[in-house]
Amino acid sequence: MDLIVVGCGRVGAELAYRLFQRGHKVTVIDPETAAFKNLPPDFRGRTVQGQALSQDLLRRAGIKKADGLAAVTNSDSTNAVVARVAREKYGLANVVVRNYDPALRPLLETLGLQVVSSTSWGAQRIEELLYQTPFRTVFSAGNGEVEIYEYTVPPDWHGHTVQDLLPECGCAAVAIARAGRAVLPAAEMKLEAGDVVYLSATLEGLDAIRKRLEGQEEG
């Protein structure tokens, strides 16, 4: 793929290098020449110095033939403008925007942009780890609003049903792996010790499950 990364700070440089390592053709844009020093020495993509808000610069960077663009500067307004120009002026559908200030994230989402908020996602992930729950995150959707967790059924939950484990809202059982085989679970399916349950849940839903498990252990 032919990809453009706008912003060569730590996130942009890491993203550009990862894309380059996977064989993509990568062009990196940044207004400061010194920023390109963030790229590893073996990076062989293009670097273009200048303001990405300039349509002339975007054309020189190859936006007319690009397959995708990531706007990852530390300015939400710059990222939003570049993304909208890429989509509306040049018809580029595959555009991803980094959100720096969580307070501005709703605005970016109302523009119909694909948004990745490292601040919001990171804060939620740290919160999850602080709870020290027996749930392991295996997939995160969006900015972590919904995640898929892996949970191994303990002996004291043997014989309970899937429905017994789940709260009324905020959570759904995606799959259960037993003896090396996975199935789509019905609500009345009985759990066995050692089953690996995959749950899709919000943070609130996970907290409700955790409280339910703690209540069972106390009982």
Q: What is the mean pLDDT of residues 104-118?
A: 80
Q: Specify the pLDDT at position 112.
A: 78
**pLDDT category of residue 134 using cuts at 50, 70 and 90:** confident
Architecture of domain 2-116: 3-Layer(aba) Sandwich (3.40)
Cβ within 8 Å of residue 142, ≥6 positions away: none
% of the chain residues with pLDDT over 70: 95
Domain 124-218: give its CATH code: 3.30.70.1450
> What is the tens place of the pLDDT at every residue in 2-47?
999 999 999 999 999 999 999 999 999 999 999 999 999 999 999 9
In the sheet with 136-141, reading across from the earlier edge strand, the strands are 136-141, 146-152, 196-201, 171-178, 181-183
Calculate what percentage of the chain has a pLDDT beyond 90: 58
DSSP structure string for 19-70: HHHTT-EEEEEES-GGGGGGS-TT--SEEEES-TT-HHHHHHTTGGG-SEEE
Domains of the chain, residue spans: 2-116, 124-218
pLDDT tens digit sequence for 183-195: 999 999 999 999 9
